């Protein structure tokens, strides 16, 4: 048996490595200390987590993890000192790094990658586990959606009785978990006026009953397959909602407002973020915060003063022009970004960036499942950029978009500059990047002095 180094010595070593990484210009060094700690002594992560006096909350979802965690942090701000992996480093190494850096934290707040969730939950033993949604995403990494769902079911099965489960009841895979945990806090949307006309979108997942396989009837589909579902064969249906969003108003690209209804009462919330998908994020954050003991007043106040998590929906002033950056990373998320963008006044120009690093997904076929068409209708010109720019060009060409109006510039810097050159002074350029393209674009504008690097902003 290996005798572990004392924690303080381990922590100091690992932290020094992160500082060195930043000094060497190797990005944020947000995961390096944790990777080192994990290598030196795997048990140290659990020991660090167990020292948090108020324990930890862990949340996962295909879409909205970073935003939901950031909203929760805003709600809890000033009430409790957090260890929060705000820079989006959401594997074991990122959680370990966060624990290392947060000496005086009282509560852990961790967004965790879907595949890494069982392992992280095992290590930090969360007192609240929140599950937001499961969409097809990075199939090259995860294999099949069903495999992740199965691992989540096993995780919930092993969850200690005193841990609180929070689930999005509008996702059939997650709503079904209530069967095993009747004490789960279930949230969802309850406003059929905002159901997608025409029902499920092309790339919808979980269309068939998780129990018997028959196609669900969707009384309302809000975002992808999230909605009010019912199986006509076996009767599996959305569980009753403990926390619901009603009377939703979508105010273009500026804000959304909704009635937050829960057992203690109902409050109107104005969220300074656009899109129905952010209502889901707000519901998840509200349910998670309430499970952690936040008051309803704290929840409303926190949500109303929230600013977007970096790159998710971000406005950056670049000289006399603006950038509006919306992260795209899978069909469901991209469809919502596009739907929100078009509802807020469809642009005539966009820069769309596709990379294929591991964090983006090496398999780029997902772009063919995105409904870009509503955006293409208004676009007069599109600049495609990133390592797989040519694939994006094909996606648009075969959608019937004038190939002469597609500019292919694989260099992100050149793609960005071309977009800015085509944008008149005073106007805003819409940029839709995948994850690593978003980080790179932010780095480029940061180097020009327009925005703080992500590890400082976070």
The binding site for another protein (CB under 8 A) comprises 136, 139-141, 143-146, 202-203, 207-208, 213, 215, 356, 362-369, 373, 376-377, 387-388, 390-391, 393-395, 397-404, 406-409, 418
DSSP 16-78: HHHHHHHHTT-TT-SSHHHHHHHHH-THHHHHHHHT-TT-EEEEE-SSSHHHHHHHHHHHHTT
Min dist CB 145 to another protein, Å, is: 7
> Would you say 279 or 383 has its CB closer to another protein?
383
> Would you say 140 or 230 has its CB closer to another protein?
140
Min dist CB 205 to another protein, Å, is: 9
Give, in order, the Cα–Cα distances in Å from 168 to each of 42, 233, 309, 324: 32, 23, 21, 29
Min dist CB 434 to another protein, Å, is: 15
> Would you say 271 or 393 has its CB closer to another protein?
393
> Would you say 12 or 399 has its CB closer to another protein?
399
> Would you say 110 or 366 has its CB closer to another protein?
366
> Would you say 84 or 395 has its CB closer to another protein?
395
Going 92 to 98 to 99 to 100, the CA torsion angle's sign is: positive
Min dist CB 9 to another protein, Å, is: 38
Min dist CB 382 to another protein, Å, is: 12
Min dist CB 136 to another protein, Å, is: 7
> Would you say 250 or 364 has its CB closer to another protein?
364
How many residues are there in the chain? Answer: 458
Strands (E), 174-294: 185-189, 217-223, 226-230, 243-251, 255-262, 265-271
> Would you say 139 or 444 has its CB closer to another protein?
139
Distance of CA 38 to the CA centre of its chain: 25
Cα–Cα dist 246/254, whole Å = 19
State the DSSP H helix or E strand holding residue 145, giving kind and residue range, or none if neither. Answer: helix 145-158
Min dist CB 369 to another protein, Å, is: 5
The candidate with the shortest Cα–Cα distance to 283, out of 151, 148, 169, is 169
Q: What is the dihedral of CA 426, 432, 433, 438, to 10 degrees?
A: 40
- Count of H helices and E strands in the chain? 17, 17
Sheet hosting strand 381-385, strand order edge to edge: 313-318, 321-326, 428-433, 349-353, 381-385, 406-409
Min dist CB 323 to another protein, Å, is: 20
**Residues 170 and 227: beta-carbon distance below 8 Å:** yes
> Would you say 317 or 398 has its CB closer to another protein?
398
Min dist CB 215 to another protein, Å, is: 8
**Residues 435 and 359: beta-carbon distance below 8 Å:** yes
Min dist CB 407 to another protein, Å, is: 5
Interhelix angle 296-304/65-76, rounded to 10 degrees, is: 120
Output the six-digit token pair for 182: 């009747």
Q: Strands 164-168 and 128-131: what pairing?
A: parallel
> Would you say 174 or 245 has its CB closer to another protein?
174
Angle at alpha carbon of residue 224, lines to 222 and 229, rounded to 5°: 60
> Would you say 205 or 336 has its CB closer to another protein?
205
**Residues 112 and 59: beta-carbon distance below 8 Å:** yes
Min dist CB 153 to another protein, Å, is: 14
Output the six-digit token pair for 1: 């048996």
Min dist CB 378 to another protein, Å, is: 11
> Would you say 142 or 187 has its CB closer to another protein?
142
Cα–Cα dist 44/39, whole Å = 10
């Amino acid at each position: 048996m290996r005798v572990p180094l004392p924690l303080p010595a381990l922590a100091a070593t690992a932290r020094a490595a992160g500082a060195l990484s930043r000094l060497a210009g190797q990005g944020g060094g947000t995961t390096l200390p944790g990777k080192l700690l994990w290598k030196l002594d795997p048990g140290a992560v659990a020991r660090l987590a167990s020292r948090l006096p108020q324990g930890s909350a862990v949340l996962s979802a295909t879409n909205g993890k970073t935003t939901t965690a950031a909203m929760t942090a805003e709600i809890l701000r000033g009430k409790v000192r957090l260890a929060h992996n705000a820079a989006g480093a959401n594997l074991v190494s990122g959680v370990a790094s966060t624990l290392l850096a947060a000496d005086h934290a009282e509560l852990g707040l961790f967004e965790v990658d879907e595949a890494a969730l069982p392992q992280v939950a095992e290590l930090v033993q969360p007192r609240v586990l929140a599950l937001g949604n499961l969409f097809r995403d990075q199939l090259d990494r995860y294999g099949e959606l069903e495999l992740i769902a199965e691992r989540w079911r096993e995780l919930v099965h092993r969850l200690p009785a005193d841990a609180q489960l929070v689930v999005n009841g509008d996702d059939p895979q997650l709503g079904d978990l209530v069967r095993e945990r009747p004490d789960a806090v279930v949230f969802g949307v309850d406003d059929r006026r905002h159901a997608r006309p025409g029902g499920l979108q092309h790339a919808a997942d979980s269309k068939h009953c998780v129990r018997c396989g028959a196609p669900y009837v969707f009384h309302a589909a809000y975002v992808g397959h999230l909605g009010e579902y019912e199986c006509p064969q076996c009767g599996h249906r959305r569980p009753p909602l403990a926390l619901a969003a009603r009377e939703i108003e979508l105010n273009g690209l500026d804000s959304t407002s909704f009635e937050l209804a829960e057992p203690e009462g109902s409050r109107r919330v104005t969220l300074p973020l656009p899109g129905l998908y952010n209502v889901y994020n707000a519901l998840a954050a509200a349910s998670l915060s309430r499970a952690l003991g936040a008051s309803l007043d704290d929840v409303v106040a926190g949500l109303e003063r929230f600013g977007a998590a970096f790159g998710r929906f971000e406005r950056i002033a670049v000289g006399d022009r603006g950038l509006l950056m919306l992260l795209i990373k899978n069909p469901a998320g991209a469809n919502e970004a596009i739907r929100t963008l078009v509802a807020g006044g469809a642009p005539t120009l966009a820069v769309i960036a596709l990379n294929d690093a591991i964090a983006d997904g090496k398999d780029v076929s997902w772009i063919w499942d995105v409904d870009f068409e509503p955006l293409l209708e208004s676009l007069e010109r599109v600049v495609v950029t990133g390592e797989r720019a040519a694939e994006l060009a094909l996606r648009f060409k075969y959608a019937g978009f004038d190939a002469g109006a597609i500019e292919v510039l694989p260099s992100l810097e050149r793609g960005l500059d071309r977009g800015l050159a085509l944008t008149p002074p005073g106007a805003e350029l819409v940029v839709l990047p995948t994850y690593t393209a978003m980080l790179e674009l932010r780095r480029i504008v940061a180097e020009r002095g327009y925005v703080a690097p992500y590890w400082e902003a976070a």
